Amino acid sequence: DAGITQSPRYKITETGRQVTLMCHQTWSHSYMFWYRQDLGHGLRLIYYSAAADITDKGEVPDGYVVSRSKTENFPLTLESATRSQTSVYFCASSESFRGRETQYFGPGTRLLVL
Amino acid sequence: TQLLEQSPQFLSIQEGENLTVYCNSSSVFSSLQWYRQEPGEGPVLLVTVVTGGEVKKLKRLTFQFGDARKDSSLHITAAQPGDTGLYLCAGVGGFKTIFGAGTRLFVKA
């Protein structure tokens, strides 16, 4: 299906485990983003990527790792999950980033760290 | 640190009422976007305003960008139950998009 998809949709893990959240888009958009959404904080940018093999930190990057070997995929890895990383994670993509473009969001991954 | 403050945080109104949601910052943005998010889904863009003082209308929704490009408002006329959702404003500047915490709107039939 066309669009932006995330997997898994729900994940329960334990403190200290490594977790990878997947994001795939079919539009060949250059830019991709990872956000986390928590009550009272809105969406906060974790990492973004301007193109394959180009990534940069956002507002809250600590504890997360990203890669982008292919334009369409942008996985987010929690190297050693902590309870504070319990959140809803959204991936987004946009054609470019000059200030007016639409960011298209995936359906989100709900992560619970026990 | 750039911040976008939205008010109110929560709004529960009857069908047919009017409402206004505010988005304020001390920072200047290149543009201001409004998104709507339904439970279990990602945000969906409603509008982008770019010019200070700009007003855009989308059916019963009216969006305004402040003259100084630091604030914005969303006005809904004759709200309907289908308007229920989380409304997020987002300020775009440089290579950053800063999101407000959102206004959760519930419209009762």
Question: In chain A, whose CA is at the least distance from the CA of B50?
Answer: A100
**C-alpha–C-alpha distance, residues B84 and B3, integer Å:** 25
Side chain identity, residue A112: L
Q: Which of A40, A92, A99 sits opposite B101 (nearest CB)?
A: A40
State how far the Cα of A27 lies from the Cα of A55, in Å rounded to an integer.
19
Hey, is the C-beta of B101 within 8 angstroms of any chain A C-beta?
yes
Residues of B within 8 A of A90 (CB-CB) are 42-43
- Indicate the average pLDDT of chain B: 93
Residue B97 touches chain A, beta carbons under 8 Å:
yes
Write out chain A residues lying below 8 Å of B31, CB-based. 99-100
Nearest CB among A41, A42, A100 relative to B48 is that of A100
Report which residue type is found at B63.
F
**pLDDT score of A48:** 94
pLDDT at B1: 59
Provide the Cα torsion B31, A55, A4, A63; round to 10°: -100
pLDDT recorded at residue A22? 98
Task: Provide the residue-wise pLDDT of chain A in tens; the chain has 114 residues.
Answer: 569 999 999 999 999 999 999 999 999 999 999 999 998 788 999 999 999 999 999 999 999 999 999 999 999 999 999 999 999 999 999 988 776 788 999 999 999 999
Amino acid at A104: Y
Query: Quick check: A108 and B42 in contact, CB under 8 A?
Result: yes
**Percent of chain B at pLDDT exceeding 90:** 83
Residue A5, pLDDT score? 95
Cβ atoms of A60 and A70 within 8 Å: the answer is no
Q: Are B7 and B50 in contact (CB under 8 A)?
A: no
Determine contact: B2 vs chain A, CB below 8 A: no
